[in-house]
Structure 1
Amino acid sequence: MDNKTSHWRADLMAGAVVAVLLIPQSLAYAMLAGLPPQVGLYASLLPLLAYAALGSSPVLGLGPVAVLALMIAQALGGLPAGVSAEAGALVLAAEVGGVLGLAALLRLDALASLLSVPALRGFENGATLMIAAGQLPVLLGSAATGFTLPDLLRSAPHGGLNPLSAAWGGVAIVLLLLSRRAGSKLLARLAPLLLLVTAMLLSAFTPASGGVAQVGALPSLAVPLGLPPPDAALWLQLLPSAALVALMAFVSSLAVSESLAQRRGEKLLPAAELRGLAAANVVASLTGGMPVAGSFSRSILLHEAGSHSRWSLVFVAGFMFLAMLMLAGPLAHLPKPVLAATIVVAVLGGFTLGHYGEAWRYARAEGLLMAAVTAAVLLWSIGAALAIGVVGSVALLIQRTARPHVARIGRVPGTQHFRNVERFAVECRPEVVGLRIDESLVFTNARGLVDVVLAHVREHRRGVGEPQRVLMLMAPVNHIDVSGLVALQELRGALAAEGLRLEFSEVKGPVLDRLKAIGWLEHYDVSLYLSHHEGMQAGEHALRPSLADHDAPGQL
């Protein structure tokens, strides 16, 4: 059997395995979003073909996802009277696709960096807990509702309780947990589908479901092709929520696909991911679906099942189509507590407290950001949590870069290596202050450069001797913007006022090219050395730089 045939068989098998997991998840996440179950099936069909045509990851399990379902539910919670949730979902999917498509057109794939890993993990953990909490009323047969813990708790005393619903939900959770502990991956994957089928049969042919809420009769599962409603006010109302859903969809999907691409030794194209997600969401809006994104659990399953290409998604869509033909009648008898149980077990399976402790031990500010985002999801709103995550991530970045890290360095005895005087036993020459700038000089940190350097000069005078020049090791500097350039000019003037020369060593090629383009080194009489050791050994009057010293652009 040749490789091509084996790849086709692997993709077909991966598609069948993931479809087994996607069937119950698509139903459950549509219900979580406050939509009819068939909407989840529609979103798991043609949108997969759109991503397969334009995306780049062979293992991104696209479709309805839990976190997005919670965001969709909040976005659709305040629809005007007379506008159905299905219509709102179509508009939301179209706007998500439009926002992602515009980002792809403008090459804004860097948007993924707006949410740091701690903010993203805090959001996902908070959403996980809120999803599980939101399913408790369904499990218990209660009418309590709410998208935050305070709302849920306020409505709980008036929601009532159905012991039979609690029994259905409790038994379903126990069976799902036991299937995960059985040690068989195949059983764990098939368990949700087997549970749903069994529950449908019991509910349809026994009186055991009396009083337990059921999915109810579904319309024909033929895919409804058509445009979203052209209601300008509705589109305007949902646009802010669509922007947040689009950001979360792209960030979470890219995080999943990038991690798996690294594991598989493959190259991922973020711009293609934007295009694929945009097309998938637009198609979802035209085929009765809801916003879609990549799922970590389904993506891992595609990877483990041996998916070689995006044809596996085409096969997933094919199996989903067969499921739609077979499930229209039986789904009416599916007890909602069982569907809620599959949601609870699925989402809580990815929850861990370990991330909080790890972040707190490594960087307390980032640990606090993670906890704050989680708390905002649970106690405030999805939009507030995302805003806190984005603003907090940017604020921490600015805080870290607001004061450039400049180390005073000396020579390790017997070598030509230079290290921080505070960390190593080194030799310092009294006539030269050796410094190393450990980051690029840009507008966020440029203002603090002069004060930091002068502080090191004073320290050198107290401990070593009277210097005549300041030699700055520039190897870690990847970029100098205009603000950084002005800061260097001010530094040169401040040092000159104290009778000190400013000198550079090991300037990177791209940075040097920019300095040469405007004749900066010659104009300010700043000496340049190929190595820091050479600069330290040079006499008081070093040679001025010339094009002959570094005539190859980008050579350093």
Structure 2
Amino acid sequence: MTSTASLSSRWQSYRSGPLGDDVVAAVIVTILLVPQSLAYAMLAGLPPVVGVMASLLPIVAYALLGSSSTLAVGPVAVLSMMTAQAILPVAQAQGVAPHLAALVLALEIAAVYLIAVVLRLEVLAALLGAPVLHGFITGASIAIALGQLPSLLGVAVKGNTLTEMIASASKAATLMPQGTTALIGLGALLLLWLSRKYGTKAGKALGLSPRGAQMAARMAPMLVVVFALVLIASTPVWSHGVSLAGRIDLKDGLQTPSLLEAPMGLWTALIAPATLLGLVGYVESLAVAEALGSKRGEKISPRRELLGLAGANAVAGVTGGMPVTGGFSRSVVNFDAGARTRAAGIWTALFLGIAVFLLGDVLRFLPKAVLAATIIIAVLSLIDLHPFQQAWRFAKTEFALMSAVTLLTVVSGVEEALLVGVLVSVALLLQRTARPHWAEVGRVAGTETFRNVRRFEVETQPEILSIRIDESLLFTNSRWVAEELNDQVQKRSGLKHVVLMMSGVNDIDLTGLDGLIQLDKDLQLQGITLHLSEVKGPVRDRLHAVGLDEWLSGDLFNTQHEAHAALAGAR
């Protein structure tokens, strides 16, 4: 009874709260999801309905296991292209249908994610720093908007990146827009822009409540789609030369190959592609989830994202789908439409199921130009130049990284941009740790506080050199730190003591330990004693474990003030 009452209470709370927003978002996403799924399946070299199957139950699996309230999981352009490259040659070599290879690939990607969960490899998400994330989201927004222009205008140009589009345009017979398509696409774009900018105000002016006006504005994409469907269906002249979404043939989609027919050679041949696709899919999906989450102050769990994607791909593999991940444009539309909880994904699956069984024929009247307009309006809303301005003022290197990731995403693609972004981030990290900040410190008069001698008026003793190190001592920097300290020692006369203030040292690796021991030996040869102060507990324990008292010539002080008082008084 208690459990039933609790479920009833939660349902009442959900019904009176996020339900309306989630349902509206689900309806809008469903309208976009069906034709997108068809296109992505064909891009992967698979029957069109496979894309629909990959968009149905995997959404539910992610909703139950994932952490983002707005991430929409399903087939996406990048993963679809990579899927085609992975399965088509392997399927031909193994003598099996590409669809069967896609099912095996989806299951192996799920296994990769589960292994990552067990080994806690979600820590790799830390490589997606703010510059990479902001650069990716900006570049992907621009790239997707550019990629929709051919469909919007009826131009025979293809490609997912600017480079591919330019190459396609150079081979096109003509770059003139198709008149009717451009009229429909630009008209839809204008209506959607007007509804976004003035829709809520117009609703309030018509007497709607603030919430009602906001809901009406969010319904604009759906209303534009319905208007286009009615226009094409009732006036055939408008469909002349216009590219339409097409209908769904369920008979092909329900004939799913059996996984039992997959030879062992197929499973082994797809392990490496599954690992690569899994990595790309996870990084891309996490980037989208965190970018959207940051706009709502929503915390994204990298580990749960791995689990959610594992569940989604496993379900796709056993229900006749294909590899899936978090879709950028689809998630943006879901976010933009006002989805508030992961339940929006379950509603999307429900509406998609209804569309698959009842509304397949209706899509043959839907112009792709209208879908393109909806996506363009949605993604452009995510372009935010403020992080670039902030990075320019804060750190020029971070600005350069952010700009490079943006440019590479537009020109070369998501994989190249994220790979370069992560590698450069690691390089910058190594550069920072290899040249850590350190400062000579002295005592602020009348206090027990020690500060940088270059920034504050402080007291120092000629026989004592106090150095504060503001980085862990690791293999990347231990030699440089020792060389810098020796240089400082050579510049001082009458020096008797060197005190390393280690309040900023969080860790010391074996190379760092060897560096400290060698530094102590070098100083002893010059008649100088090495001391340590303010060593953190875990670091202190590890130093004692390797016989600190046996190799350290000086003392270990709890505070820098204690060291100063003891050594200054030792004449």
Please state which band the TM-score falls in when normalised by the shorter chain. 0.7 to 0.9
**Residues 28, 340 of structure 1: 8 Å contact kept:** no
Gap change, CA 1:146 and 1:215, over 3 Å in 2: same
1:504 equivalent to 2:532? Answer: yes
Gap change, CA 1:417 and 1:159, over 3 Å in 2: farther
Gap change, CA 1:186 and 1:258, over 3 Å in 2: closer
244-253 vs 442-451, which moves further = 244-253
**Residues 61, 298 of structure 1: 8 Å contact kept:** no
- The match for 1:252 among 284, 287, 291 is 287
Structure 2, unmatched stretches of 5+, are: 201-213
Gap change, CA 1:238 and 1:136, over 3 Å in 2: farther
TM superposition shift of 1:87: 6.7
Residue in structure 2 matched with residue 180 of structure 1 by the alignment: 196
TM superposition shift of 1:114: 2.6
TM-score (norm 2): 0.82
Residue in structure 1 matched with residue 398 of structure 2 by the alignment: 366
Gap change, CA 1:390 and 1:32, over 3 Å in 2: farther
509-518 vs 154-163, which moves further = 154-163
Q: Which residue type is aligned with residue 421 of structure 1?
A: V
Equivalents in 1 of 2:428, 2:518: separation in Å?
Answer: 27
Residue in structure 1 matched with residue 439 of structure 2 by the alignment: 407
**Residues 43, 289 of structure 1: 8 Å contact kept:** yes
Equivalents in 2 of 1:192, 1:224: separation in Å?
Answer: 34
Residue in structure 2 matched with residue 210 of structure 1 by the alignment: 240
- The match for 2:326 among 274, 283, 293 is 293
Q: How does 1:16-55 map to 2 (within 5 A)?
A: 16-27=23-34, 29-30=36-37, 33=40, 35=43, 41-55=52-66
1:114 equivalent to 2:127? Answer: yes
TM superposition shift of 1:298: 6.2
Residue in structure 2 matched with residue 154 of structure 1 by the alignment: 167
- The match for 2:187 among 147, 171, 186 is 171
How many pairs does the alignment contain?
Answer: 529
Gap change, CA 1:365 and 1:152, over 3 Å in 2: same
TM superposition shift of 1:524: 2.4
- The match for 2:143 among 130, 143, 158 is 130
TM superposition shift of 1:237: 8.0
1:4 equivalent to 2:17? Answer: no
Gap change, CA 1:32 and 1:225, over 3 Å in 2: closer
- The match for 2:386 among 349, 354, 358 is 354
- The match for 1:521 among 544, 549, 558 is 549
Residue in structure 1 matched with residue 564 of structure 2 by the alignment: 536
TM superposition shift of 1:134: 1.9
355-364 vs 441-450, which moves further = 355-364
1:388 equivalent to 2:420? Answer: yes
Residue in structure 1 matched with residue 204 of structure 2 by the alignment: none
Deviations 1:206-262 (A, max 9, x none): 12111101112211297776657945698368446514432324532552586479x
Gap change, CA 1:226 and 1:104, over 3 Å in 2: farther
Gap change, CA 1:397 and 1:108, over 3 Å in 2: same
TM superposition shift of 1:516: 1.4
Q: Which residue type is aligned with residue 102 of structure 1?
A: I
**Residues 142, 410 of structure 2: 8 Å contact kept:** yes
Q: How does 1:269-288 map to 2 (within 5 A)?
A: 269-287=301-319, 288=321
Residue in structure 1 matched with residue 210 of structure 2 by the alignment: none
Equivalents in 2 of 1:227, 1:474: separation in Å?
Answer: 62
Residue in structure 1 matched with residue 84 of structure 2 by the alignment: 76
1:219 equivalent to 2:249? Answer: yes
Residue in structure 2 matched with residue 488 of structure 1 by the alignment: 516
Residue in structure 1 matched with residue 364 of structure 2 by the alignment: 332
What SS does structure 1 have at the residue aligned with 2:527?
coil
Q: Which residue type is aligned with residue 4 of structure 1?
A: R
TM superposition shift of 1:420: 0.9
**Residues 506, 530 of structure 1: 8 Å contact kept:** yes
Residue in structure 2 matched with residue 143 of structure 1 by the alignment: 156
Gap change, CA 1:306 and 1:141, over 3 Å in 2: closer
1:61 equivalent to 2:96? Answer: no
**Residues 30, 69 of structure 1: 8 Å contact kept:** no
TM superposition shift of 1:138: 1.6
Q: Which residue type is aligned with residue 173 of structure 1?
A: L
Equivalents in 2 of 1:223, 1:414: separation in Å?
Answer: 83
Residue in structure 1 matched with residue 20 of structure 2 by the alignment: 13
User: More helix per residue: 1 or 2?
Assistant: 2
Equivalents in 2 of 1:299, 1:422: separation in Å?
Answer: 53
Deviations 1:23-55 (A, max 9, x none): 134236436645587555434431132224333
**Residues 229, 366 of structure 2: 8 Å contact kept:** yes
**Residues 100, 258 of structure 2: 8 Å contact kept:** no
What SS does structure 2 have at the residue aligned with 1:13?
helix
Equivalents in 2 of 1:260, 1:352: separation in Å?
Answer: 11
**Residues 161, 410 of structure 2: 8 Å contact kept:** yes
TM superposition shift of 1:501: 1.0
Q: Which residue type is aligned with residue 20 of structure 1?
A: V
Deviations 1:111-141 (A, max 9, x none): 1123322123223322222222222222222
Equivalents in 2 of 1:38, 1:145: separation in Å?
Answer: 22
TM superposition shift of 1:496: 1.5
TM superposition shift of 1:458: 4.5
TM-score (norm 1): 0.84
- The match for 1:445 among 470, 473, 477 is 477
What SS does structure 2 have at the residue aligned with 1:426?
coil
Structure 1, unmatched stretches of 5+, are: 543-556
Gap change, CA 1:394 and 1:39, over 3 Å in 2: same
Residue in structure 2 matched with residue 552 of structure 1 by the alignment: none
What SS does structure 1 have at the residue aligned with 2:249?
coil
Cα root mean square deviation, aligned: 3.3
Deviations 1:65-115 (A, max 9, x none): 8xx534534653687489898777656544443332221122101111233
**Residues 49, 250 of structure 2: 8 Å contact kept:** no
Deviations 1:364-395 (A, max 9, x none): 22222222223323333443223211211111
TM superposition shift of 1:491: 1.5
**Residues 26, 348 of structure 2: 8 Å contact kept:** yes
Deviations 1:416-452 (A, max 9, x none): 1111111112111222111111111112222211112
Gap change, CA 1:191 and 1:40, over 3 Å in 2: farther
**Residues 112, 275 of structure 2: 8 Å contact kept:** no
Equivalents in 1 of 2:129, 2:222: separation in Å?
Answer: 35
Q: Which residue type is aligned with residue 280 of structure 2?
A: V
Equivalents in 1 of 2:138, 2:340: separation in Å?
Answer: 29
The ranges of structure 1 where at least 4 consecutive aligned residues each deviate by more than 6 angstroms after the TM superposition are 81-88, 221-224
**Residues 374, 385 of structure 1: 8 Å contact kept:** yes
- The match for 1:194 among 206, 223, 228 is 223
Equivalents in 2 of 1:100, 1:186: separation in Å?
Answer: 37
